[in-house]
Amino acid sequence: MAPSEPPLVSVRGVRMVFGSGETRVEALRGVDLDVARGELVAVMGASGSGKSTLLHLLAGLARPTQGQVVVDGTDLAALDDDALTAVRRRRIGIVFQAFHLVPVLTALENVALPLALDGVPQAEAEARAAAALDRVGLRARAPHLPSELSGGEQQRVAVARALVARPPLVLADEPTGNLDSRNRAQVLSLLRGLAGEEGRTLVLVTHDADEASVADRVVRLADGRVVEERRGAGRVPAGPA
């Protein structure tokens, strides 16, 4: 990153508190984090460490109790709900562990859905969806329903859906947790290849050290705080022979 170029993601002094009194839980306790454009960062931590809460804040799915979350120059906490929805559709792609594909829509229709919701004309949305499926190696599977796809194929469709709006930031939440080792390696290789493509930035949330090995940098959370930052291996773990 050039010295004058700001990070794509900047988190400053973020605290997140749920509940009050005896039910009060402080999920994040003053987190600071920068992610450069084109970087792949893995956020690791055990259950309850705060990593999923951090992902939700980066996705604009929650607002911090205190602090600032800036994505691509925009302070997410300063936006109203409509503006925040627009940012999520156009500038943030999200890949979930559970795929979240619409079962009655084809692969092509699933990928085109965010564009359709954003008012993109159908012909353009389908053309861009086909290109995104091609990017993940699934153009031939475009007319198939999710039930006709393997788990690995469904997750690659989910990756294509996250890419279709050409967002600068892609967030991946335990993206290979439901996959076997072969499909896992394929999806991780795909995510590794996306980092830096067109300046794209990826943040991968995981509890798995092998999954985190694809990252340029690994950030470890514990009890809502950043307790370690180190260079990642930047490589895909080997699949089965």
CATH fold for the domain made of 37-60+79-231: Rossmann fold (3.40.50)
Does residue 149 carry a pLDDT above 90? yes
Note the pLDDT tens digit of each residue in 199-229: 799 999 999 888 899 999 999 999 999 999 9
Nearest to 197 by CA among 172, 177, 170, 221: 170
Q: What is the DSSP string of 198-238?
A: GG-EEEEEES-HHHHTT-SEEEEEETTEEEEEEE---SPPP
**Residue 210 CB-half CA count within 13 A:** 12
The average confidence (pLDDT) of the chain is 92
Q: What is the pLDDT of residue 240?
A: 56
pLDDT bracket for residue 137 (50, 70, 90)? very high
- 89-120 burial, b at 16+ Cβ within 10 Å, e below that, comes to bbbbbbbbbebebeeeebbbbbbbbbbeeeeb
- pLDDT at residue number 1: 47
Checking if the pLDDT of 196 tops 80, the result is no
Q: What percentage of the chain carries pLDDT values higher than 70?
A: 97
Nearest-CA neighbor of 164 among 206, 201, 202, 136? 136
CA dist 40 to 18, 33, 79, 211, Å? 29, 13, 26, 12
How far is C-alpha 152 from the geometric centre of its chain's CA atoms?
Answer: 17
Q: Contact at 8 Å (CB) between 120 and 165?
A: no
**Residue range 4-61, pLDDT digits in tens:** 688 999 999 999 999 888 889 999 999 999 999 999 999 999 989 999 999 999 999 9
pLDDT of residue 239: 62
Q: How many CA atoms, within 13 angstroms, populate the side-chain half-sphere of residue 200?
A: 21
Q: pLDDT tens digits, residue range 152-179?
A: 999 999 999 999 999 999 999 999 888 8
d(CA 32, CA 64): 13
Alpha helices, DSSP H, located in 118-165:
122-135, 151-163
Q: What is the mean pLDDT of residues 62-89?
A: 92
User: Rounded CA gap, 25 and 154, in Å?
Assistant: 35
- Per-residue pLDDT at 198 exceeds 90: no
Assess whether pLDDT exceeds 60 at residue 234.
yes
Reference 9, options 89, 76, 81; nearest CA is: 76
State how far the Cα of 166 lies from the Cα of 123, in Å rounded to an integer: 17
